[in-house]
């Protein structure tokens, strides 16, 4: 059976249908990772140059 490194704690974990938490080693590590996503700790950096026209709030016309 292949093993993988748990993304949360670094322990070796079996990657098989018998491990319902794969690629995590346990329910605990799976929930820690889910909580990190929910708290927005994982982010993709924004490297695009923003168009000022898109970020400015248009003035209301009377």
Q: Domain 3-38 class?
A: alpha beta
Query: What pLDDT, on a 0 to 100 scale, did the predictor assign at position 53?
Result: 62
Whether the CB-CB separation of 12 and 5 falls below 8 Å is answered with: yes
Query: What pLDDT, on a 0 to 100 scale, did the predictor assign at position 55?
Result: 60
**Single pTM value for the model:** 0.64
**N-terminal to C-terminal alpha carbon distance within the chain:** 70
DSSP string, 17-58: TT-TTTTSSSHHHHHHHHHHHHTT-S-----SPPPHHHHSPP
User: 16 in helix, strand or coil?
Assistant: coil
Q: What is the pLDDT of residues 6-61, one digit of tens each?
A: 999 999 999 999 999 999 999 999 999 999 999 989 887 777 666 666 666 667 77
């Amino acid at each position: 059976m292949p093993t993988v490194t748990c993304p949360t704690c670094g322990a070796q974990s079996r990657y098989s249908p018998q491990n319902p938490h794969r690629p995590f080693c346990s329910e605990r590590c799976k929930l820690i990772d889910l909580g990190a996503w929910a708290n927005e700790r994982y982010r993709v950096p924004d490297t695009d140059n923003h168009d000022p026209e898109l970020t400015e709030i248009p003035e209301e016309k009377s």
